[in-house]
Structure 1
Amino acid sequence: MSSGDPAAGQQPTAGRPHALLLDLDGTLVDSEPIHRAGFERWFAHRGWAFDREVASLFTGRRADDVFRTVEGPWSGGDPTQMFHEIVAMVPRDRLPDAVPGAVASIERALAAGIPLALVTSAGGRWADKALAALGGIDRFDVVVTRDDVSVGKPDPSGYALACERLGVDAGCALACEDAPQGVVAAVAAGVGTVVGVTTSFSDQVLREAGAHATLPDLTGIPALLR
């Protein structure tokens, strides 16, 4: 693990965390290529360029939030309609693989009696489908999806809601996120330790967003739950 500077006024959680808060896409499952394929198809259909910079705007965020708040060729369109158009173009013939360490992290938290929360920008149907390889969505004590909050990441409401539903102090929780927008959300919610998972973005990008530490995947997480 490589340590980053703690966010201003915030120190990493000491000892075993009181809750484990996990993002889904790119953190628990290697699903970003599947979603990217849908975006690439939709952008091509619209005749718009879809490069790495544009892709980074959407990673870890609700697409309709991006359409509403970021200027682009989509400006003036109906955010909800465009979101559903993209969803319809996401490949449905394959499921994502688990990120290394994902299953072990969940099992370790369950064995240790550490409450688990899923905090995702995805909808409940996708979360249920994507988590099939990890034992199912029912392994989580709390599930917060795009449908549970009025504004998605980087807004902190998803993480704040997860901690509220778990009945834990956010400062005593550990969150894992693969996107800077998710890191920002967790830090803003007061999560005590935010680990950036470098499956989608670099160590530097995640640390600049506020991650206290980074890991290449989740294989190092079970050791933090002992």
Structure 2
Amino acid sequence: MTLPLPAGDFRAYLFDCDGTIVDSMPVHHRAWRAALAEWGCEFPEDLFYAWGGRPVADIVVDLNRRHGLAMPVEAVARRREELFQRLLPGVTAVPEVLAHLERAHGRLPFAVVSGSTRESVTASLTALGLLDRFDTMVCAEDCTRPKPDPEGYLLAARRLGVEPAGCLVFEDTDLGVAAATAAGMASVRVPHPRERAATR
């Protein structure tokens, strides 16, 4: 499938990372399931995708509430990240996004805007050999408010020296698209792996 872009004279591309540049959502789900299984907690695939883009800590808190558990948030988050890092060698880029990235590289500045940690984003992009393509990264540590708040996207635009209206955002979650819209930016929605597979 191709990923059509909205019309506009865009002067910068801003990308979410997981599920957008990196086809890592199935791997993230495997890491979540393995980490949570140690506490007797389940995280069904449909709920995992419905909660896409949410901070890890918020997910653990809500799973505790749903299942009547008391999982330690930081310990579960660390364990999930550890398991994800082990699985990283198996990830690939999202082909439809990579095509646009390659086509515009050197012509437009790029930023990553992710709710994941800098460690996680750096590891994912390094695994794909794409880290050097990006002029700046805005990660969880850089923002006080997660998506759908526009803070991250506005910060990236300022760092690139481009007005929000001149930025095109690539996102795979409702929260991310809402953040881009709130920032005054156009966006393109990247389908989930199952949606992409259905159209091939």
Residue deviations 1:161-220 (CA, integer Å, cap 9, x gap)? 1111112111221101111111111111211x1111112586xxxxxxxxxxxxx59xxx
Equivalent residue of 1:158, what SS?
helix
Amino acid at match of 1:169: E
| Cα RMSD after superposing both structures | 2.8
Separation of aligned partners in 2, 1:199 and 1:147: 26
Deviation at 1:83, TM superposition (A): 1.5
Unpaired runs of at least 5, structure 2: none
Question: 2:48 is matched with which residue: 51, 55, 70?
Answer: 55
Does the CA contact (< 8 Å) of 2:28 and 2:84 recur in 1? yes
Unaligned runs of 5+ in 1: 4-11, 203-215, 218-226
Which of 32, 36, 52 does residue 39 from structure 1 map onto?
32
Distance 2:29 2:168 in 1: 28
**Are the structure 2 counterparts of residues 73 and 151 from structure 1 closer, same or farther at C-alpha, using a change threshold of 3 Å?**
farther
Q: Within 2, Cα distance between the matches of 1:201 and 1:184?
A: 22
Q: Which residue number in structure 2 is paired with residue 66 of structure 1?
A: 59
Change (3 A) 1:201 1:189: farther
Given the superposition, is the C-alpha separation of residues 150 and 95 from structure 1 closer, same or farther in structure 2, using an over 3 Å criterion? farther
Question: How far did residue 62 of structure 1 move?
Answer: 1.8
- Residues 77 and 19 of structure 1, relative CA distance in 2, 3 Å threshold: same
Aligned to 1:152: 146
Q: 1:124 to 1:159 in 2, by over 3 A?
A: same
- Structure 2 partner of 1:174: 168
From the superposition, tell whether residues 135 and 44 of structure 1 become closer, same or farther in structure 2 (CA, over 3 Å).
closer
Structural mapping, 1:94-173, within 5 Å: 94-112=89-107, 114-132=108-126, 134-173=128-167
- Distance across 2 between alignment mates of 1:182 and 1:13: 17
TM-score, length of structure 2 as denominator length: 0.82
| More moved, 33-42 vs 124-133 | 124-133
Name the TM-score, length of structure 1 as normaliser: 0.73
Q: How far apart, CA to CA, are the structure 2 residues paired with 1:147 and 1:161?
A: 12
What amino acid maps onto 1:132 in structure 2? T
Structure 1 residues 62-121: Cα deviation after superposition (integer angstroms, max 9, x where no partner): 211334578433776543333123223335142411111333322322232x11111112
* Amino acid paired to 2:35: W
Instruction: Flag the 1:121–1:75 CA change in 2: closer, same or farther, 3 A.
Output: farther
Aligned-pair CA distance for 1:134? 4.5
Give 2:100's aligned amino acid.
S
